[in-house]
Amino acid sequence: MKNPETTFHKILFIFIPFSIGYFLSYLYRSTNAVLAPYLNEDLGINAEQLGLITSVYFLTFALFQLPLGILLDKYGARKVQTVLFIIASIGATTFALGNDVFQLTVGRGLIGLGVSGALMGAFKAISVWFPKEKLSLLIAVYLGFGAMGAVVASTPLELALNITSWRVIYLSLAVITLLVSLLIFFVVPEKNISDEQVDKEEILKVLKEIYLSYAFWRICPIASIVGGTSMSIQGLWAGPWLTDVGGFNQMETANILFIFTICMAIGIVMMGIISDYVRKFKISPIGVMGFFMFLLIIPFAIITSGSMPKAIWPWVMFSLTSFCGTLGYAGLSAHFPLNYAGRVSTAVNLITFLVAFFSQYAIGNILQFLDPGKTSGYSIDSYQIAFGVFLFLIILLYVIFVLMSILERKRTKDNIC
């Protein structure tokens, strides 16, 4: 369909195809929380190696964000996404056939590169096809679709591993990913800003404007540290924590991760609905983000302390609030022109996924350093230190965010006066 006019057609031909791709990206991102013991059993992989293999997904994802933003603004989401999902399919095949840390790392790296546009490509498409006032709600629903991928990467994945091997599962994902690339290419319409308008812009000038803005540095650091840390824990370290600290077996851990991801999906959609509703009271998405970030710190502190290892509610509360940083995308986009949309979103995403890479890899290194020689069964003290580093950073940057928001409000009030 070349030019969908109705909302129904836009959802059918734009929103849904991208949502399927984002579902896959989240499935890839989250598999290793369940696969960890199987990789350890088959290949003898320890925490440091597992952190590297899993986190390289975030590294390649992050490094491609700036060129991704430029490509999205110049060529549109349809063409860019098609090529990238083909790369992801190649990466999944490489991972499925890997026999050592290097091969698995290369496979995960290609997957990360291949799905690096799954979120930002959709943000770009949504921002140019749908009304601005609906962005927060649409983005929240879209993120909910992605969270369903994480749901499948919990109990359903564990059940599948009882029937077949992780290699067969990844080969199947490779085929599905290739089919999704074809779906996007043949179904999704394109609505580009003209090449003439994009060519007139100085790319470095635009990026400088974004990165030097007060709004970016007020919103991005806290959104990135919360988003990156949440992804690194949800995508890998929640599983080992539940096994090592909570003492749950593999199926129990998978079931808890299932609850975790269901709550995460509910939380994402809930925050979008709340953000959309409170606009009538002149409360911005950034204000909603700040409130939920405060709520997130409480369960994360309990999880980090290890004081309630058998309690599920801290994980439920953490999962409900863990992706509050995504509200920052919609809030920050309002500060820039529409034709900056791809670059604004990818600018935030770059920092977020670099944080995810660093935190996921760093946690594995800390665990291995404090419990050398182990490949599983890490101590509660090690988890307290590993998680505690990022809890401290979240609290610090949250305080800075609050102070900068107060200054911003005062500056706006003074300008009005």
Dump pLDDT digits (tens) for 248-268.
998 899 899 889 888 888 888
Dump pLDDT digits (tens) for 275-291.
878 888 888 888 899 99
**Is 195 within the bounds of a domain?**
no
Instruction: Indicate the pLDDT class of residue 271, thresholds 50, 70 and 90.
Output: confident
| Cα angle: 223, vertex 225, 228; to 5 degrees | 95
Dump pLDDT digits (tens) for 60-83.
988 887 788 778 877 888 889 999
User: Structural domain of residue 245, as residue ranges?
Assistant: 7-187+201-416
Query: Which stretch of DSSP H or E encloses residue 396?
Result: helix 380-416
- Collapsing DSSP states into helix, strand and coil, what is residue 179? helix
**Is 348 within the bounds of a domain?**
yes
CB 345 within 8 A of CB 120: yes
The predicted pLDDT at position 355 comes to: 93
The predicted pLDDT at position 341 comes to: 66
Tokens 């994009």 -> residue: 198
The mean pLDDT value of the chain amounts to 86
Q: Write out the chain in H/E/C secondary structure.
A: CCCCCCHHHHHHHHHHHHHHHHHHHHHHHHCHHHHHHHHHHHHCCCHHHHHHHHHHHHHHHHHCHHHHHHHHHHHCHHHHHHHHHHHHHHHHHHHHHCCCHHHHHHHHHHHHHHCCCCCHHHHHHHHHHCCHHHHHHHHHHHHHHHHHHHHHCCHHHHHHHCCCCHHHHHHHHHHHHHHHHHHHHHHCCCCCCCHHHHHHCCHHHHHHHHHCCHHHHHHHHHHHHHHHHHHHHHHHHHHHHHHHCCCCCHHHHHHHHHHHHHHHHHHHHHHHHHHHHHHHHCCCHHHHHHHHHHHHHHHHHHHHHCCCCCCCHHHHHHHHHCCHHHHHHHHHHCCCCHHHHHHHHHHHHHHHHHHHHHHHHHHHHHHHHHCCCCCCCCCHHHHHHHHHHHHHHHHHHHHHHHHHHHHHHHHHHHHHC
**Is 1 within the bounds of a domain?**
no
Instruction: Indicate the pLDDT class of residue 273, thresholds 50, 70 and 90.
Output: confident
Q: Which of 49-58, 334-343, 390-399, 404-413 has the lowest mean pLDDT?
A: 334-343
**Is 58 within the bounds of a domain?**
yes
Q: Which of 365, 103, 353, 325 is nearest to 235 (CA)?
A: 353
- CATH number, residue 336: 1.20.1250.20
**Is 194 within the bounds of a domain?**
no
Q: Is the dihedral of CA 100, 102, 103, 109 positive or negative?
A: positive
Q: Which of 125-134, 231-240, 269-278 has the lowest mean pLDDT?
A: 125-134
The predicted pLDDT at position 338 comes to: 67
Q: How many angstroms from the chain centroid is the CA of residue 327?
A: 12
The predicted pLDDT at position 119 comes to: 80
* 200 has a pLDDT exceeding 70: no
Please measure the distance between the N-terminal and C-terminal CA atoms of the chain and give it in whole angstroms. 50
- d(CA 110, CA 306) in angstroms, rounded, equals 35
**Is 107 within the bounds of a domain?**
yes
The predicted pLDDT at position 23 comes to: 93
**Is 193 within the bounds of a domain?**
no
**Is 293 within the bounds of a domain?**
yes
The predicted pLDDT at position 106 comes to: 96
CB 331 within 8 A of CB 219: yes
The predicted pLDDT at position 223 comes to: 92
| Number of domains the chain is built from | 1
